């Protein structure tokens, strides 16, 4: 894997974080080093918000010839699994980034963190508290009212050391005791009011097994891991801004020279019609509202990949939305625009019919197969051309025919002539219906002189239809995806469950669709533009005898329309 984004893809535009980095580089701080880290908790799959953070952390390091570590925050074994670790690594690589030999886990530092906690006890800066979490929380006070000191706050160093060792040895049950820092119960910053450093959890860890039954809290672990790894810029989301004084306090107790990592916060990504909480996404998975973490309706990186999003489209989206210090809501249409823009340049064009209506061209020779020249991608002349088989019987979209068409309907109707893309002019001569009066077949005649879509006599037709041969095709299942939620902000209703706003029509499955033979050897994740219909890609559910396509995006671009493009 290469750590470089392809040259045609800009890394990351300068933002306030880059301004900070450049100021420090100009001042000679950290010996000119830039070293970032991406620290996911392996308790779920990554989503588009994490992708923004990945692009920012790796992109910043690349911009200044630095390094990025991948470090898993695995301090809560009750929620973490190896499956999540593997998925995170796959997603980061797929997005185009690599961490070289710098793969770390918070659990790599469990011994050092334990030693540091012991050091704090010896210095009188930490103590064992026998109170339960609810009691401790009730004693925290408010930002304007000091908290109450624990009755165990004045325990001796010797007693605290003894209890902490016994906690580690498993003598106490879950929740019976915790280790707390001794800082300031009157601090205006609630996070400085004797925060918990360690809690008892008799749960096997996915890497360390049963070695530990006490685990460090995130606030205690991540800053120290940053320090030991030589991180220069600890970039995190805005909710950690109030944690920064605690981050710095721990570093101050640990550092032995002038080096210290700097925490910088930025606004997290919020998307319309989307939930970004891993807890809520896990709820959707567990309750089977979706097929899994990689369901193409999910905002997870794996779901977006399966739906047909490209790494370039996500990186370009992350660049477009920028990096700010103010929370806001990004229109999901901008994400959809990014994938359309990318696929428009690279997706192979083919013709597919999703709701087929058979057309018999009565004056076309039976058994004849003609090969029509078709353009693979008008945006990329180097993509060349392909051959599309044309036969007496074809399929068109059912919506492209109306028995009694209105004045501005320029597609097929009785007695009307239209152009078949890359083929001939055809005129509808007869409509065949079943016993219920449903249209089951159309009869048309074709003009042999109009091959290629133009007539020598110069007559014009207003309608051009896509089509697929009824005998030379690939039958496929097509899954049409829509947004998972109908409400712009499903999290914005405090008195209602976010699942109440789920879109019951977020997935429509079409079983008998017909695609031109060009796609027959396609593999999972191959992308196509089905002409006039949208962008589609091959799903991993595909089998040798039945391809499955996911609709990545429709052709209509609402975001570009809003921008007046």
The CA-based angle 222-228-233, given to 5 degrees, is 65
**pLDDT of amino acid 11:** 47
Where is the binding site for ATP, in residues? 41-43, 47-53, 237, 268-269, 276-278
Q: Are residues 61 and 203 in the same domain?
A: yes
**pLDDT of amino acid 14:** 78
Q: Report residue 5's pLDDT band, with 50, 70 and 90 as the boundaries.
A: very low
Q: Report residue 557's pLDDT band, with 50, 70 and 90 as the boundaries.
A: confident
Residue that is last in its domain, among 409, 442, 465: 465
The DSSP secondary structure of 504-531, one letter per residue, reads TTSEEEEEEEEE-GGGTT--TT-EEEET
CATH of the domain at 94: 3.40.50.620
Give the β-pairing of 464-465 and 417-420: parallel
The answer to the question of residue 559 being in a domain is yes
Q: Are residues 377 and 525 in the same domain?
A: no
Report residue 244 as tokens.
Answer: 């920064």
Give the pLDDT confidence of 512-536 residue by residue, as tens digits. Answer: 999 999 999 999 999 999 999 999 9
- H helices then E strands: how many in the chain? 13, 25
Q: How many CB atoms lie within 10 A of CB 497?
A: 11
Give the β-pairing of 393-397 and 356-361: antiparallel
The answer to the question of residue 198 being in a domain is yes
Q: At residue 348, what are phi and psi to the nearest 5 degrees?
A: -65, 130
Q: Are residues 312 and 446 in the same domain?
A: no
Q: Are residues 278 and 416 in the same domain?
A: no
The answer to the question of residue 503 being in a domain is yes
Instruction: Report whether 343 contacts 552 (CB < 8 A).
Output: yes
Domain range for 438:
352-465
Q: At residue 236, what are phi and psi to the nearest 5 degrees?
A: -145, 175
The answer to the question of residue 128 being in a domain is yes
Active-site hit among 102, 140, 268, 387: 268
**pLDDT of amino acid 468:** 98
Q: How many CB atoms lie within 10 A of CB 325?
A: 13
**pLDDT of amino acid 559:** 59
The secondary element (H helix, E strand) that includes residue 416 is none
Q: Catalytic residue at 268? A: yes
Averaged pLDDT for residues 189-197: 97
The answer to the question of residue 24 being in a domain is no
Q: Are residues 288 and 372 in the same domain?
A: no
**pLDDT of amino acid 7:** 40
CATH of the domain at 536: 1.10.1160.10
Where is the binding site for L-glutamine, in residues? 73, 218
Active-site hit among 37, 41, 340, 386: 41
Rounded to the nearest 10 degrees, how much is the dihedral formed by the CA atoms of 156, 158, 161, 162? -110
The answer to the question of residue 407 being in a domain is yes
The neighbouring-strand residues paired with 528 are: 348, 536
The answer to the question of residue 125 being in a domain is yes
How far is residue 565's CA from residue 563's CA, in Å, rounded to a whole number? 6
Q: Are residues 276 and 380 in the same domain?
A: no
**pLDDT of amino acid 563:** 64
This prediction's pTM: 0.92
Q: Are residues 204 and 277 in the same domain?
A: no
Q: Catalytic residue at 102? A: no
How far is residue 106's CA from residue 216's CA, in Å, rounded to a whole number? 9
Give the pLDDT confidence of 274-296 residue by residue, as tens digits. Answer: 999 999 999 999 999 999 999 99
CATH of the domain at 419: 2.40.240.10
Residue/partner pairs of 247-255 with CB below 8 Å, 24 or more apart:
247/219, 247/222, 247/223, 248/223, 249/181, 249/183, 249/192, 250/219, 250/220, 250/223, 250/224, 251/223, 251/224, 251/227, 253/116, 253/119, 253/120, 253/123, 253/125, 254/116, 254/224, 254/227, 255/227
The answer to the question of residue 6 being in a domain is no
Q: Are residues 317 and 230 in the same domain?
A: no
Assess whether pLDDT exceeds 60 at residue 422: yes
525 backbone φψ class: left, alpha, beta (φ>0; ψ -120 to 50): left
Q: Are residues 174 and 311 in the same domain?
A: no
Whose CA is closest to 554, among 481, 494, 487, 468?
481
Average pLDDT, the chain: 95
Q: How many domains does the chain have?
A: 3
Query: Mapping DSSP to helix (H, G, I), strand (E, B) and coil, where does residue 365 land?
Result: coil
Q: Are residues 262 and 279 in the same domain?
A: no
Active-site hit among 168, 244, 278, 419: 278
Residue that is last in its domain, among 202, 235, 266: 266
Residue that is last in its domain, among 266, 289, 316: 266
In 74-156, DSSP assigns E strands to 103-105, 126-129
Where is the binding site, in residues? 41-43, 47-53, 73, 218, 237, 268-269, 276-278
Q: Are residues 192 and 304 in the same domain?
A: no
Assess whether pLDDT exceeds 80 at residue 561: no
Among the ranges given (262-266, 446-450, 528-532, 558-562), the one the predictor scored with the smallest mean pLDDT:
558-562
Q: The tokens 């000679």 sit on which residue?
A: 28
Q: Are residues 68 and 208 in the same domain?
A: yes
């Amino acid at each position: 894997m290469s750590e470089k984004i392809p040259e045609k893809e800009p890394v990351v535009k300068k933002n306030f974080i880059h301004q900070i980095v450049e100021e420090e580089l100009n001042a000679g701080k950290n010996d000119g080093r830039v070293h970032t880290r991406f620290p996911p908790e392996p308790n779920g799959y990554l989503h588009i918000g994490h992708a923004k953070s990945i692009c920012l952390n790796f992109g910043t390091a690349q911009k200044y010839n630095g390094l990025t570590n991948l470090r898993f925050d695995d301090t809560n074994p009750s929620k973490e699994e190896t499956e999540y670790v593997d998925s995170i690594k796959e997603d980061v690589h797929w997005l185009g980034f690599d961490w070289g030999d710098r793969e770390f886990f918070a659990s790599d530092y469990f011994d050092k963190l334990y030693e540091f906690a012991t050091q704090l006890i010896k210095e009188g800066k930490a103590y064992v508290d026998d109170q339960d979490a609810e009691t401790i929380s009730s004693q925290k006070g408010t930002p304007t009212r000091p908290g109450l000191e624990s009755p165990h706050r004045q325990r001796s160093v010797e007693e605290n050391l003894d209890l902490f060792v016994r906690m580690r040895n498993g003598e106490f049950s879950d929740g019976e005791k915790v280790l707390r820092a001794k800082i300031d119960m009157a601090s205006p910053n609630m996070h400085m009011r004797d925060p918990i450093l360690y809690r008892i959890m008799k749960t096997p860890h996915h890497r360390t097994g049963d070695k530990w039954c006490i685990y460090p809290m995130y606030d205690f672990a991540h800053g120290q891991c940053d320090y030991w790894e030589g991180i220069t810029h600890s970039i995190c989301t805005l909710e950690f801004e109030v944690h920064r004084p605690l981050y710095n306090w721990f570093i101050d107790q640990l550092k032995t020279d002038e080096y210290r990592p700097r925490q910088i916060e930025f606004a997290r990504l919020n998307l319309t019609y989307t939930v970004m909480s891993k807890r809520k996404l896990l709820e959707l998975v567990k309750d089977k509202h979706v097929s899994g973490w990689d369901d193409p309706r999910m905002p997870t990186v794996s779901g977006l990949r399966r739906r047909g999003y490209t790494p370039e489209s996500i990186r370009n989206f992350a660049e477009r939305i920028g990096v700010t210090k103010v929370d806001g809501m990004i229109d999901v249409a901008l994400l959809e625009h990014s994938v359309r823009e990318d696929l428009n340049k690279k997706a192979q064009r083919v013709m597919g019919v999703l709701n087929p209506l058979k057309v018999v061209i009565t004056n076309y020779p039976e058994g004849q197969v003609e090969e029509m020249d078709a353009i693979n991608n008008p945006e990329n002349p180097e993509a060349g051309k392909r051959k599309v088989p044309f036969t007496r019987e074809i399929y068109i979209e059912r919506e492209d025919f109306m028995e009694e068409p209105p004045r501005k309907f320029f597609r097929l109707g009785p007695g009307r002539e239209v152009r078949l893309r890359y083929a001939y002019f055809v005129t509808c001569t007869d409509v065949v219906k079943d016993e219920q009066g449903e249209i089951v077949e159309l009869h048309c005649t074709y003009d042999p002189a109009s091959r290629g879509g133009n007539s020598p006599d110069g007559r014009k037709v207003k309608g051009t239809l896509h089509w697929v041969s009824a005998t030379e095709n690939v039958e496929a299942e097509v899954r049409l995806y829509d947004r998972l939620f109908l409400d712009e902000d499903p999290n914005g209703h405090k008195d209602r469950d976010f699942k109440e706003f789920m879109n019951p029509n977020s997935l429509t499955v079409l079983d008998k669709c017909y695609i031109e033979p060009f796609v027959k050897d396609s593999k999972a994740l191959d992308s196509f533009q089905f002409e006039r219909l949208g962008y589609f890609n091959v799903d991993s559910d595909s089998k040798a005898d039945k391809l499955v396509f996911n609709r990545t995006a429709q052709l209509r671009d609402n975001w570009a329309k809003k921008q007046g493009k």
